[in-house]
């Protein structure tokens, strides 16, 4: 039992030394990837906050811009519908709850991205699968009718997520 503790202590010491020696004090790649995705999770709520109240663009005569914004927010803030679980009189609580859920969801995606980044072609395959999930989400949101599917909102989200994937994997571990 005592030797097990010694091994654990050695593993911890090795791990902390590797952290201290990595890239001039920057956090390890796994923390960086999760942090990039968690920060990206705030873009959707921030856009909604800046365009508050809903319908403000429509009131200014730009109904198409309002529709596009609504559709883009569907991709960038997929947990927004969770705000309905907040008390009826608290928009702020719903906003915070849905934003925290979005951060958690994006952190999981960031962790998966970190895990697959250690394999050759892992990130491109994962990004392609993620884009396929976005496409399925968009088709579901449009009622599975291409007539109502917003190609521009889908394209904007693909570019946004491509940048997030790129930023989160810039300094990942070498391929195995």
Q: Looking at residue 19, what is its pLDDT? A: 45
Alpha helix locations (H) across the chain? 2-21, 29-40, 43-50, 56-59, 63-76, 91-116, 122-141, 151-168
Q: Measured between alpha carbons, how far is 44 from 58 in angstroms, rounded to an integer? A: 19
Q: Are 113 and 128 in contact (CB under 8 A)?
A: no
Q: Are 131 and 161 in contact (CB under 8 A)?
A: yes
Q: Looking at residue 21, what is its pLDDT? A: 45
- pTM of this prediction exceeds 0.85: no
Q: Looking at residue 67, what is its pLDDT? A: 81
Q: Looking at residue 6, what is its pLDDT? A: 54
* Residue extents of the structural domains in the chain: 31-168
- Count of other CB atoms within 10 angstroms of residue 47: 15
pLDDT in tens, the chain (176 residues): 455 555 555 555 544 444 444 444 545 556 888 999 999 999 999 998 888 776 666 566 666 777 888 899 989 999 988 888 877 778 888 899 999 999 999 999 999 998 888 888 889 999 999 999 999 988 888 887 777 888 999 999 999 999 999 988 876 545 44
Q: Looking at residue 61, what is its pLDDT? A: 63
């Amino acid at each position: 039992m005592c030797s097990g503790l010694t091994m654990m202590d050695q593993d911890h010491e090795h791990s902390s030394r590797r952290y201290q020696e990595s890239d001039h004090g920057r956090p390890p790649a796994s923390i960086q990837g999760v942090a990039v995705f968690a920060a990206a999770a705030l873009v959707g709520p921030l856009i909604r906050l800046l365009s508050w109240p809903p319908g403000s663009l429509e009131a200014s005569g730009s109904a198409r811009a309002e529709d596009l914004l609504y559709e883009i927010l569907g991709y960038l803030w997929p947990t927004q519908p969770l705000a309905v679980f907040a008390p009826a009189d608290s928009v702020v609580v719903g906003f915070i709850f849905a934003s925290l859920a979005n951060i958690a969801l994006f952190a999981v995606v960031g962790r998966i991205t970190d895990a697959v980044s250690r394999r050759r072609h892992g990130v491109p395959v994962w990004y392609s699968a993620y884009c396929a999930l976005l496409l399925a989400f968009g088709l579901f949101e449009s009622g599975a009718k291409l007539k109502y599917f917003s190609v521009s909102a889908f394209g904007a989200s693909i570019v946004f997520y491509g940048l997030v994937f790129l930023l989160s994997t810039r300094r990942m571990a070498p391929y195995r």
